[in-house]
Amino acid sequence: MTWMCKQSLIAAEFTGVMILIIFGTGVVSQVVLSSNPAVAPTPKGEYLSISFGWAAGTALGVWVCLGISGGHINPAITIAFATWRGFPWKKVPGYIFGQLMGGVVGAALVYADYFHAIDIYEGGRGVRTLKTASLFSTYALDYMTNVSCFFSEFFATAILVIVILATTDKGNGPPPLGLLPLVLFILILGLGACLGMETGYAVNPARDLGPRLLTSMVGYGSAVYTFRNQYWLWCPVLAPILGAQAGAMFYDVLLFNGRESIVNKP
Amino acid sequence: MTWMCKQSLIAAEFTGVMILIIFGTGVVSQVVLSSNPAVAPTPKGEYLSISFGWAAGTALGVWVCLGISGGHINPAITIAFATWRGFPWKKVPGYIFGQLMGGVVGAALVYADYFHAIDIYEGGRGVRTLKTASLFSTYALDYMTNVSCFFSEFFATAILVIVILATTDKGNGPPPLGLLPLVLFILILGLGACLGMETGYAVNPARDLGPRLLTSMVGYGSAVYTFRNQYWLWCPVLAPILGAQAGAMFYDVLLFNGRESIVNKP
Amino acid sequence: MTWMCKQSLIAAEFTGVMILIIFGTGVVSQVVLSSNPAVAPTPKGEYLSISFGWAAGTALGVWVCLGISGGHINPAITIAFATWRGFPWKKVPGYIFGQLMGGVVGAALVYADYFHAIDIYEGGRGVRTLKTASLFSTYALDYMTNVSCFFSEFFATAILVIVILATTDKGNGPPPLGLLPLVLFILILGLGACLGMETGYAVNPARDLGPRLLTSMVGYGSAVYTFRNQYWLWCPVLAPILGAQAGAMFYDVLLFNGRESIVNKP
Amino acid sequence: MTWMCKQSLIAAEFTGVMILIIFGTGVVSQVVLSSNPAVAPTPKGEYLSISFGWAAGTALGVWVCLGISGGHINPAITIAFATWRGFPWKKVPGYIFGQLMGGVVGAALVYADYFHAIDIYEGGRGVRTLKTASLFSTYALDYMTNVSCFFSEFFATAILVIVILATTDKGNGPPPLGLLPLVLFILILGLGACLGMETGYAVNPARDLGPRLLTSMVGYGSAVYTFRNQYWLWCPVLAPILGAQAGAMFYDVLLFNGRESIVNKP
């Protein structure tokens, strides 16, 4: 594998996450900002829209890079595939770098698209608080304990991985590869509607940390990192990575029996 | 068939129902609990979300075990397949056991995820009433008579089975097997939106009894069984089993003519 | 073709329309009836649910009979296929009979399922007015003129037929036959959301007349026929039949060029 | 290629855009007009319906002409395919003419369907203002600057093109051609829900200019052109054309490597 080709894999993951984040942070921004009558005369969406927006972003983000890089668009998935499906470890850093950058750039584009509305919503030009930082990254509900936060992300990511491993397992009943994103559409729609209220179903370190980096750079400052004592690290980064491991272990112990997998390319 | 393999079938049905219940009871919990402002500042869903959540859970639950166990994830379906499609009766108890356990474990995971919010919604730590027991199992609307309750579940399950038998009948116009869960997504979305208000469209004994067992163990007590005089047994357990038989009889008498079926594996 | 087989075709169309009507009139009933707090504590749906319910009913109704009878489930389609695609005219009466009966039986089952709630909604046992007759059949909005009513149904059915002829035309870009109902899901979702408010998008004589016959038999009386001077005949029956002809003519003049069609079986 | 055949390509694009516009302007009309109690007793949709309506229109519009003309139904796409995928430039004017006419005729049919309701909504027969002109074409929100308007359309169209090029690239992971409209359904649903509030996601010059021509002819007069100083030209026409170029350049520089494309027919 040449450097040229490696670069293309990183570019593919970059683009996939960028698309994911454009739709995902785009829909949260549209729904929240348009609820302010000074922004839009009538609301342009509701909570269910958010579930559909992230679902669309995930399906389209994977379609954009599926045949080139495998469509991981999630460091927790990349690490799980390296641990359990023979994805080469030496590619992992490049993949994660591309994914994180995709998150930063996707959030930057949405920020550029909506910053006038953010000014109005925050009540002044350049005013930036966690109220709109949460358009880009996840922040837990008030009542949640730290243990609950961790469990919520760990749990949702484990489910995500069980479904992904099942629907890419040739020994199970997978769809045609080119239609796999339909499964992901349904999966993310479901996660948002069913397990999304507590910690915002990050389930993807790049989805959360990329946009968080962006917010820290455009005026939200260090508040995005100091929320709840390193929340940014242990909840939307570590919990998904460990949850993905747990989900993969669950699937491989209970259901997988060494048959060929779509993602097990020799 | 070795013991090893039998175990794998049970594990597959277990996992399928677990996924179904995680999404299904998850979405009811999220929609109902987040309607309380002490839980979430704005509602995180509405009734239509519930229809989509159960639809997603069903599609994903079937995808997770489709190629291993056939993706029944419903004792009423398993019994109907044994009666009408040659599914071996000796496997039925194992399947049903796995399905029930999947219901218990799925509900336990959702309970673990949401119990802080349940405390707030119930108005006190450890207070548990039918108000939140209904997040996990089905309870009929007040005005319903017992006959109506039974008919509602019997009827909805018959429709479910007619559609499943038609879309797995090679002599009809089935989709590719790996996309069958898309049919189920539409089917359960439709059942929830169209025939769901009266008895909560259990249409699946494991979907209802599994989580009900869980609630009886975590503090809801015997109230979940004494509601409406053994309601738990005759409405969401017996009615779906008999409705599935009626649906299968309908399909086989009117439309099936002995051609090969996807689920008729010799 | 033997009598046996003919019977099976009629049974298939019967079942397809029955499924369509169960979901379709089911969703209207659920959304409207549950908006009354005496029926359900919270609404069990909204207008968008109705669009999804009819979409699900259409997709599932077609899946149930697609490979047996071709999945017409609509007399306007059957007549258009006979006129433009060589479907044998001698089968037309049988198809239409089956479709109408499916409409009657489907509506009867939904009526049996919801009649307690109808009693509550109407404000008394056995009170039956057009307020709930409209759960089963279509009635135009007040402001509409007769010409507008006719145009609305004619227009929507023409669009329906253009899309159906295009997506079954092997010379165009059709989906695999077993996934054709996905197109219909999107099509009916769209018709309901986009062109549905004025006359309720009957676009199918059996969908409207079948349930209307049922309502006239269960206590709504002749009011369902006297509304707007034979409305039942010229708006939801004749307009769709003629609109289907117009749509087929449009497609065949502009886009079809004699290539083989999925529905043109020799 | 004979004149006959050329005509058929133009007719195909005409029909595709006509279908797109019927559903798209239809859903906006239904949702906005039915919010007036003098039109309909209860609202017949909400913002999410609009996203689904345009999604349905796009998928169905492409299905109607996919195998005949390639299913562009968007001048920005046609020009991008000519620039980057070898689509013959000499066919471009015919395609764009067909697309524009499809936009005019589609809007005319919806106008004919809804003009009584428009009269009621506007408060008098023949009263026509931008309030209902916006049912047919796009008008930016008040707070938006001109630069933001341009960026919003440029950005959304670039995303559109990146996804289209990826899902038609045989070297990536495309779906079967006959199911490509499912991708577009998800894509347009996402664009509407996520990036649609500011300028109404025209992303298609024919979608906006065709209906705008119609409105200028049926009584809205020159106001549809004088809004914001030639807004009609630089925002929904030029920005999508340039955005499509940017999206195509992005895809081809970062991800495409000369492999065969579905749309690269020799």
Q: Give burial (CB, 10 Å; 0-12/13-18/19+) of B249.
A: middle
- What are D140-152's pLDDT values in tens digits? 999 999 999 999 9
Q: d(Cα B30, Cα B46) in Å, to the nearest integer? A: 9
CB C170 within 8 A of CB C260: yes
CB D133 within 8 A of CB A29: no
What pLDDT score does B5 carry? Answer: 62
CB B250 within 8 A of CB B162: yes
> Region D42-55: what's the mean pLDDT?
97
* Residue C22 predicted with pLDDT over 50: yes
Query: Which residues on neighbouring strands pair with residue C261, listed in sequence order?
Result: C169
Chain B 25-54, CB below 8 Å of chain C: which residues? 46-48, 51
* Confidence category of residue B4, pLDDT binned at 50, 70, 90: low
- What are C168-205's pLDDT values in tens digits? 999 999 999 999 999 999 999 999 999 999 999 999 99
Q: d(Cα D174, Cα D62) in Å, to the nearest integer? A: 16
Q: d(Cα D101, Cα D95) in Å, to the nearest integer? A: 10
Cβ distance of A113 and D198 shorter than 8 Å: yes
Cβ distance of A67 and D174 shorter than 8 Å: yes
Report which DSSP code applies to D96: H
Q: How many CB pairs under 8 A join A and D?
A: 143
Q: Give burial (CB, 10 Å; 0-12/13-18/19+) of B219.
A: middle
Query: Which residues from chain D sit within 8 angstroms of residue A45, using beta carbons?
Result: 47-48, 51, 193, 197
Cβ distance of A67 and D145 shorter than 8 Å: no
Q: Which two three-digit tokens encode residue C154?
A: 């004619």
- What are C45-91's pLDDT values in tens digits? 999 999 999 999 999 999 999 999 999 999 999 999 999 999 999 99
Single-letter amino acid code for the residue at D245:
Q
Single-letter amino acid code for the residue at B264:
N
What is the least distance, in Å, from the CA of B146 to any CA of chain A? Answer: 31
Which range is least confidently modeled, A67-71, A227-231, B134-138, D256-260?
D256-260
Q: d(Cα B24, Cα C52) in Å, to the nearest integer? A: 19
What pLDDT score does B28 carry? Answer: 98
Residues 6+ apart with CB under 8 A from B38: A143, B120, B121
* Residue B64 predicted with pLDDT over 90: yes
Full-model pTM? 0.96
Q: What subunits make at least 3 CB pairs under 8 angstroms with A?
A: B, D
* Residue D266 predicted with pLDDT over 50: no
* Confidence category of residue A265, pLDDT binned at 50, 70, 90: very low
* Residue C225 predicted with pLDDT over 90: yes
What pLDDT score does B6 carry? Answer: 65
* Residue B2 predicted with pLDDT over 60: no
Query: Which residues from chain B sit within 8 angstroms of residue A148, using beta carbons?
Result: 113, 116
* Confidence category of residue A1, pLDDT binned at 50, 70, 90: very low
Query: Which residues on neighbouring strands pair with residue A169, listed in sequence order?
Result: A261
Mean pLDDT taken over chain B? 94
What is the least distance, in Å, from the CA of C135 to any CA of chain B? Answer: 12
> Region D209-224: what's the mean pLDDT?
97
What is the least distance, in Å, from the CA of A66 to any CA of chain D? Answer: 5
Per cent of chain B over pLDDT 70 is 94
Residues 6+ apart with CB under 8 A from C96: C75, C78, C206
Cβ distance of D254 and A15 shorter than 8 Å: yes
Q: Which two three-digit tokens encode residue A54?
A: 């992230």
**HSE-up of residue C246 (Cα within 13 Å, Cβ side):** 15
What pLDDT score does A256 carry? Answer: 86
Q: d(Cα C248, Cα C265) in Å, to the nearest integer? A: 17
> Region B115-123: what's the mean pLDDT?
97
**Which of A214, A204, A212 minimizes the C-alpha distance to A77?**
A204
> Region A43-67: what's the mean pLDDT?
97
**Which of A208, A10, A27, A22 minimizes the C-alpha distance to A105?**
A22
> Region C30-37: what's the mean pLDDT?
97
Q: Which of C143, C166, C250 sits opposite D39 (nearest CB)?
A: C143
CB D163 within 8 A of CB D252: no
* Confidence category of residue A203, pLDDT binned at 50, 70, 90: very high
Q: What are phi and psi of A169, to 5 degrees?
A: -95, 110
- What are C110-150's pLDDT values in tens digits? 999 999 999 999 999 999 999 999 999 999 999 999 999 99
Cβ distance of D65 and C155 shorter than 8 Å: no
What pLDDT score does C258 carry? Answer: 66
Q: Which two three-digit tokens encode residue D115?
A: 């003009």
Interface test with A, best of D135, D197, D249, D262 (most A CBs within 10 A): D197
What pLDDT score does A257 carry? Answer: 72
> Region B229-257: what's the mean pLDDT?
95
Give the position of tokens 């002409």.
Answer: D65
Q: d(Cα A38, Cα D172) in Å, to the nearest integer? A: 43
> Region D241-262: what's the mean pLDDT?
85
**Which of A55, A74, A90, A61 minimizes the C-alpha distance to A243?**
A74
Per cent of chain C over pLDDT 70 is 94
| Three-class secondary structure assignment of chain B | CCHHHHHHHHHHHHHHHHHHHHHHHHHHHHHHHCCCCCCCCCCCCCHHHHHHHHHHHHHHHHHHHHHHHCCCCCHHHHHHHHHHCCCCHHHHHHHHHHHHHHHHHHHHHHHHHHHHHHHHHHCCCCCCCHHHHCCCCCCCCCCCCHHHHHHHHHHHHHHHHHHHHHHCECCCCCCCHHHHHHHHHHHHHHHHHHHCCCCCCCCCHHHHHHHHHHHHHCCCCCHHHHCCCCHHHHHHHHHHHHHHHHHHHHHHHHCCCCCCECCCCC
Give the position of tokens 């749906």.
Answer: C45
> Region A144-169: what's the mean pLDDT?
97
**Which of D236, B50, D57 minimizes the C-alpha distance to C43?**
B50
Residues 6+ apart with CB under 8 A from B145: C116
Is any Cβ of chain A less than 8 angstroms from the Cβ of B113? yes
* Residue B200 predicted with pLDDT over 90: yes
What is the least distance, in Å, from the CA of D250 to any CA of chain C? Answer: 28
Residues 6+ apart with CB under 8 A from B84: B165, B248, B249, B252
Question: C170: how many CB neighbours lie within 10 A of its CB?
Answer: 12
* Confidence category of residue B60, pLDDT binned at 50, 70, 90: very high
What pLDDT score does C257 carry? Answer: 72
* Confidence category of residue B256, pLDDT binned at 50, 70, 90: confident
- What are D60-109's pLDDT values in tens digits? 999 999 999 999 999 999 999 999 999 999 999 999 999 999 999 999 99
* Confidence category of residue A264, pLDDT binned at 50, 70, 90: very low
CB A135 within 8 A of CB A26: no
Number of H helices, E strands in chain D: 11, 0
Residues 6+ apart with CB under 8 A from B39: A141, A143, A197, B33, B117, B120, B121
Report which DSSP code applies to D37: T
* Residue B265 predicted with pLDDT over 90: no
Give the position of tokens 């594996």.
Answer: B265
Query: Which residues from chain D sit within 8 angstroms of residue C171, using beta carbons?
Result: 67-68
Cβ distance of B173 and C71 shorter than 8 Å: yes
- What are A107-133's pLDDT values in tens digits? 999 999 999 999 999 999 999 999 999
Cβ distance of C15 and B176 shorter than 8 Å: no
- What are B166-178's pLDDT values in tens digits? 999 999 999 999 9
Query: Which residues from chain D sit within 8 angstroms of residue A64, using beta carbons?
Result: 162-163, 166-167, 172, 255
Q: d(Cα A253, Cα A248) in Å, to the nearest integer? A: 8
* Residue A4 predicted with pLDDT over 60: no
CB B112 within 8 A of CB B166: no
What is the least distance, in Å, from the CA of C250 to any CA of chain B? Answer: 28
* Residue A3 predicted with pLDDT over 80: no
Cβ distance of C43 and B48 shorter than 8 Å: no
